[in-house]
Structure 1
């Protein structure tokens, strides 16, 4: 039973009840949630399907499966239906299909699979892997063949082990089955970036066909989130944001930035209550996530406006002019999008990921660059489309903490953890009200940036107390109401 905490109408799971909560999308079970664009999440629970060897393929290769029930195709990607279902693996250039039937031992689940060959010039050595030992052998083989650089092979091994330890620590049933299936798919997509590198344009639209990179990224990060100790703040404001977008207004999030997994974390926290926002959010992304082969597969599933971070423009002096021109091109593309209206943009005005405070060693939101905030404010005014700027606070550093020190080169070591996370949004920031408190435009610019950062920091501290202070939704304030919409019956009604 859910226990009310904080403000009236807020439903939140108490610490004692969390281990028995009927979670949707986290913990040991996953239920169906169809998004605004028709993509469907997996329905069912891992423990009910543990006897089925074919389900993990649907989990880790979502774009290759479609569900068919009673002769009618179900919208969405990988979908598990209780009872009798047929899974059709759809791959272009396929050969004669062969049907495999698997009987699930616990739910009487019957699935029919049409398995077809894939011919696309890509080494498929990571497909069909059933064990950790086999996965390690494949990495070694790819390095020996020369298709995979030795350093990348070592990076794959480290990433796999860190991910394995994080998922196993979550206590989820069949953890190793999940780890092997998910990571074999992840490593397959990374290998593809060494064989056939993908090049991002200034404006990249998320790729869901012929391979669904969006769901791929969600399925990778999902097991790392402790949904029973995660929170979404101010759902009513998210409701209003969605309404504004559908009326053609633009919305810009001024946010802190914690990890490479931020887009997936935000989408996972929003997908149950606000799938439209989760799928239509466009991220202003730095060059590292579109150049590093270990990041690119996850970036391919997100809407991106690609820029070079100010922190790294002059890392290689000979490339500085090219980077400046590329940023100007992205700015023009951003202007075009905002003039169309109905755009939801995420911007990190700090220019990089948060780092621990050197004195306290605690992770804190990095201060905003006031010129970056001012640029977004000015651009939203120029396009003459109604715009709303909101502060957005994200706490998820334990999922994939960055190196403590900012490094110039690509290929950083990647730690992975299992943790509760949080996301909260503020009311619309009122520039005019803030500007009235200062005496000139320059001070107004700085004051607005400081006000946005202060909102982020204040919400971050509430999220931190909820997650790490064992307070949960009880720490909700007059300006920040925490909820857990992924639990049945937890969406507020007032």
Structure 2
């Protein structure tokens, strides 16, 4: 009786028969088989890497897999052709086979990436300077932080910074929500912000709008997500963080493509040059201004960074608590010099926190006093206590009235600093870029509407308290008169801005020096942005 072979024997026999058959296979066919093995191995490595880092950029993943599969398919087709025609080629050493595979795989990868419309190498070379500078490793001068920067702030979140498409960005938001690392309401606001920002950039008519949106929004989402994971705590006086990650440049790059420089205006630019001289002499400068949007600091800095770069980067903004608590706004605030205060408009939102807010404001006033005593400081403040709102009936925008007490407190700090101080009225018009909600809201996380539009700033000559109030009979009257004088001057400059920007005069209305600098911006926009 013949003994039936065991399963182990069958397997052994099958292995030896396959081995014998493959040994008889011509070397050139073995080389083709190596292509298939290389392709599968490369695809597995790519999938494994993405699984480890927790990021699956769709286009990158798709192009990598398709190129590997394509290489394998070509190898199989070549083998079929060799068998069919019984062709013989020169035997290739494994090293040559591997080199051929890598070359074929790379060519397919680049072709597929280009076909998918996400060719990052070309995209970065043709994107705007503003977008590209976001990723610069260059360290910018004159910066210090309020506290040591953690490793997470230096690094990036793979969920967003590696994104190669809109789908990658939005999928990254959803994935973090499912992982429990991103609150749903923040995720909703991020998605809303993306679409609004995208619409505004495309509204500009820029031929590279898609690249600009992707470059700026993935960095913005990266910073916002990191701010949620490890919330940054602002001190009463916060100095702009410019290294190791340059939050200042990040904010500039983000707002830059939203400004229509052809219809933007800077008034009385010679007065800004006068301010720079005063600052170099150790004197202080105070800008009493209206307030229109969260983009005000970036707009001011962008309109002045060519003519008055020192002012552009050195301004200290008196900021409300909302811009340092809203996760979508915090990364932009981290790139500005801030004196953090609680606005009177929101002082009583939560009765239990009123005392805490008042103590915090007292600490900020002490910090401001110390800064003014050191001299060479330029501080921006909006005595209205919040952003301008349109008239509910006419829908016309105009500077909100100043709070005389807040302005008088500022004036007293300047007078008692022991350093010469100058107070200038400043008007800003930029509400179309990022308008505030129609009414003041208690909740953090407002809806952010965004558009591409002209902007403007205009400064008036400084107003002396002594001259403006020389005929006043009491301190209270003097306080009111001085506040009104500054407000009237701001309104006058605001009317100039409305005529220049909304009247579509733009560059033609700007003062000569500034007109040349804004024209340079326009040329830059035309060539790159």
TM-score (norm 2): 0.71
Q: 1:385 aligns with which of 391, 416, 419?
A: 419
Q: 2:122 aligns with which of 52, 55, 71?
A: 52
Alpha-carbon distance in structure 2 between the residues aligned to 1:289 and 1:265: 16
- CA distance in 1 between partners of 2:163 and 2:508 (Å): 45
Are positions 1:487 and 2:487 aligned together?
A: no
State the partner residue of 1:413.
447
Q: How big is the alpha-carbon RMSD for the aligned residues of Structure 1 and Structure 2?
A: 2.6
Select the residue among 226, 234, 252 that pairs with 2:286: 252
- Is there any run of 5+ residues in structure 2 with no aligned partner, and where? 1-118, 142-149, 523-529
Give runs of aligned pairs for residues 434-449 of structure 1, distance below 5 A.
434-449=468-483
Instruction: Report the Cα distance in structure 1 between the residues aligned to 2:370 and 2:224, rounded to whole angstroms.
Output: 32
Q: How does 1:193-208 map to 2 (within 5 A)?
A: 193-208=227-242
C-alpha spacing 1:63/1:415, structure 2 compared with 1 (3 Å): closer
Stretch deviating more after TM superposition (424-433 or 273-282)? 424-433
Spell out the pairing of 1:448-463 with structure 2 (5 A cutoff).
Answer: 448-463=482-497
Report how many residues are paired: 396
Superposed CA deviations along residues 296-347 of structure 1, whole A, max 9, x for unmatched, are 0000000000000111111111111011001000111110000000000000
Aligned to 1:65: 136
Q: 1:337 aligns with which of 357, 371, 375?
A: 371
Q: Secondary structure at the match of 1:311?
A: helix
**What CA distance in whole angstroms lies between the structure 2 residues aligned with 1:249 and 1:308?**
27
Q: Which of these residues, 391, 408, 424, is aligned with residue 458 of structure 2? A: 424
Tell me by how many angstroms 1:443 deviates.
1.1
Q: Quick one: distance in 1 between partners of 2:442 and 2:153?
A: 38
Shift of residue 266, structure 1, vs aligned partner: 0.4
Q: Is the 8 A contact 1:58 1:65 kept in 2?
A: no
Larger Rg: 2
Residues 1:287 and 2:294 aligned together: no
1:309-328 correspondence to structure 2 within 5 Å:
309-328=343-362
Instruction: Name the residue aligned to 1:464.
Output: 498
* d(CA) in 1 for partners of 2:390, 2:332: 25
1:157 aligns with 2:185: no
1:348 to 2:355 alignment: no
Normalized per residue, which structure has more strand? 1
Query: Quick one: distance in 2 between partners of 1:136 and 1:361?
Result: 35
Q: Deviations over 1:193-242 (max 9, x none)?
A: 11010000000000011100000000000000000100111111001000
Matching of residue 211 in structure 1 with residue 259 in structure 2: no
Pick closer, same or farther for the CA change 1:196–1:122 going to 2, 3 Å.
farther
Aligned 8 A contact 1:61 1:216 in 2: no
Larger helix proportion, structure 1 or 2?
2
User: 2:121, 2:133 → 1: CA distance?
Assistant: 19
